[in-house]
Amino acid sequence: MSVPTDLEIARTAASKPIAEIAHAMGIGEHLLQPFGSDVAKIRLDAIDELADRPRAKYVVMTAITPTPLGEGKTTTTVGLGQAMQHIGRTAVVSLRQPSMGPTFGIKGGAAGGGFSQVIPMELLNLHLTGDFHAVTAAHNLLAAMLDNHLHQGNELGLDVDDITWRRVLDVNDRALRNVVIGLGGKADGVARQTGFDITAASEVMAILALATSHDDLRARLGRIVVGYTAAGEPVTAEQLQGAGSMAVIMRDALAPNLLQTLEHTPVIVHAGPFGNIAHGNSSVIGDLIGIRGGEYLITEAGFGADMGAERFFNIKCRASGLVPDAAVVVATVRALKAHSGAYRIVAGRPLPEELHAERPDDVEAGAANLRKQVENVRAHGVTPVIAINAFPTDHESEHEVIRRLAAELGVRVATCTHFGDGGAGATELAEAVVEACDDPSTFAHLYRDDDALTTKIETIATKIYGAARVEYSAAARRRLEIYEANGFGHLPVCIAKTHLSISADPSLTGAPTGHTLVVREVRASVGAGFVYPICGDMRTMPGLSRSPGATRIDLDPDGRIEGLS
């Protein structure tokens, strides 16, 4: 008997009318802008109209450091949301929108998996309501206005060699990472080197995820810094007179999207900021609505707790003012084995067969990563819960290693089979999360707003990454000085590094300590509201593999999508 694909499962599911899903959250039809029968945008008026409803417990889903193939964090988020109704609770799930670059690349879509999915799966992974296209258009409008400003005489005195605003596109295309524009005659613009990033890496996307209103969106767009003068003074989108038109393009995109799971749990899908360069979390607007829509709001942060969760606590929660009640740390046997250092795992290739053999000692060897990620959650005063995302190739002896570690740490732990069993397979996790949310909260940001940028960087490096010290290149130090002088020093920091290690070196598995974090470059996303130091070689425009998903996605003779994963 063949196992149905995610797409087959999603396609055969019976959905409820989206107005019925909204009604369960206390949202009336007058607050919806329908996109067919299965998706709707929620008008921002919902924030005020829901203000008198009880505030939900706020839960963030994070993880150990993942393997290149991921560990099912989105699937676990959806499974937990579905499981709440199995134990008599109500929940809302809040997720990022998938980028089409990875959808057609190695990773595939991000609707969850198996019987813990968001539907309609095809629409979620392909365009949805067009928010990504709005981000692309707004970003590139500003790029066009910038180059037009140069062409018209450069009245603001932009240093052509210090322009930081590139262009974006929602595809994986390595050939666009570095390009020369303005070639041809004088009428074709000023020739200069620039490049493309993927749309998820756009500062406009990060702004979409952090804005709290149309006014806030407009103000943040105006603060975008596109480059600097020869004297080091920032030049903004407001000065280029582009922020107003950008806000018009982004107006409808600011409204979050409402979907549902296979078991009809409400799901708010909104924004999709890059997990390496940006904060990697879904939108503040979505959470401000979802926090009044049920007893529990379950959101997801990108990559491991050293990355997405740290940014959730120190960037997103700063912007929203919301306080988390618990954090789920997803762990898999295969990833813990990988952190033993005994296996070679390559993105786009099958996992090594020996990874599936019963080897509890390898789980024990890699468990230092789980221990550290639990510590990273606790460093913010948040109660962690360990979720063992079980795979059919796991062995009971390997799960027992994780349970023993949880007992040693004094942390609740639950084994989940939600991929195959839906919400019923995550009820143990749901019960553990309910208990954890009742623990007293001592949540606190890791650093203060008025700390120096170097202090913020070094606090994260030593407390979260286990580094012994931080080194800065001369260029990075100069940028930090310029940012402090320009009044950006109060901003939080978003350290751009590999997601494959707690350190900035992807080859260091487990929980490395004593290493040096080398900051080679620093950039500022002033509109979004953070400074991001860059450690290592960060690719903001992915490339396609030798056999990308795009080669397997097609239409069948009836016009239905096939091959989407």
Amino acid at 120: P
Phi, psi of 255 (to 5 degrees): -80, 125
Task: Tell me if 148 is assigned to some domain.
Answer: yes
The average pLDDT across 400-414 equals: 98
Residues 374-379, mean pLDDT to the nearest whole number: 98
What pLDDT sits at residue 275? Answer: 86
How far is Cα 286 from Cα 259, in angstroms, rounded to an integer?
12
Does residue 221 contact residue 214 with C-beta atoms inside 8 Å? no
pLDDT at 277: 86
| Contact (Cβ atoms closer than 8 angstroms) between residue 314 and residue 371 | no
Which residue, chain included where needed, has tokens 């066009």? 144
Residue 18 included in any domain: no
Lowest mean pLDDT segment, chosen from 63-72, 435-444, 553-562: 63-72
Note whether residue 26 is domain-resident. no
| For the chain, percent of residues with pLDDT exceeding 90 | 86
Q: Which is more confidently placed, 140 or 342?
A: 140
Q: What are 267's strand-pairing partners? A: 93, 259
The number of distinct structural domains making up the chain is 2
Q: Report the CATH number that the domain containing residue 206 is assigned in CATH.
A: 3.30.1510.10
pLDDT at 123 over 80: yes
Chain centroid to CA 131 = 15
387-412: average pLDDT: 97
What is the arithmetic mean of pLDDT over 545-559? 90
Please state, for a pLDDT cut of 70, what percent of the chain lies above it. 99
Residue 34 burial (C-beta neighbours within 10 Å; 0-12, 13-18, 19+): middle
- Asked whether residue 278 is assigned to any structural domain, the reply reads no
Which of 195, 219, 249 is the last residue in one of the domains?
249
Residue after which a domain boundary falls, among 223, 249, 275: 249
243 in any annotated domain = yes
* 499 within domain boundaries: yes
Range of the domain at 172: 131-249
Identify the burial level of 550 via C-beta atoms within 10 angstroms of its C-beta, where 0-12 means exposed, 13-18 middle and 19 or more buried. Answer: middle
Predicted confidence band of residue 348 (pLDDT cuts 50, 70, 90): low
Mean pLDDT of the chain: 95
pLDDT at 1 > cutoff 60: no
| Greater pLDDT, 326 or 507 | 326
Count of H-run helices and E-run strands, the chain: 20, 25
The CATH number linked to 511 is 3.10.410.10
Asked whether residue 506 carries a pLDDT value surpassing 80, the answer given is: yes
Per-residue tokens: 241: 């007179």
> Does any domain span residue 98?
no
- In the chain, the amino acid numbered 527 is G
pLDDT above 60: residue 386: yes
Cα separation, 235 vs 219, in Å, equals: 15
pLDDT at residue 441 in the model: 84
pLDDT band at residue 2 under the 50/70/90 scheme = low
- 220 within domain boundaries: yes
Mean pLDDT of 176-187: 95
Summarised one tens digit per residue, pLDDT across range 81-119 is 999 999 999 999 999 999 998 888 877 788 899 999 999
Instruction: Give 275 or 43, the one with higher predicted confidence.
Output: 43
Give the three-class secondary structure for 277.
Answer: coil
Q: Could you give the count of Cα atoms lying within 13 Å of 293 in the half-sphere of its Cβ?
A: 29
pLDDT tens-digit map of 306-329? 999 999 999 999 999 999 999 999
How many C-beta atoms surround the C-beta of residue 179 within 10 A? Answer: 14
Q: Are strands 91-95 and 296-300 parallel, antiparallel or unpaired?
A: parallel
pLDDT at 349: 73
Instruction: Report the pLDDT value the prediction gives residue 470, as an integer from 0 to 100.
Output: 98
> If you search the block for the tokens 């409402």, which residue do you land on?
258
> In the beta sheet, which residues pair with residue 554?
562
The residue ranges of DSSP E strands in 324-434, in sequence order, are 326-331, 383-389, 412-416
- The reply to whether omega before 234 is within 30° of 0 (cis) is no
From residue 551, alpha-carbon distances to 126, 349, 564 in Å are 16, 16, 10
Q: 228 to each of 1, 169, 444, 520, how far by Cα in Å?
A: 62, 24, 35, 19
- End of a domain among 231, 249, 267? 249
Instruction: Report whether pLDDT(262) > 70.
Output: yes
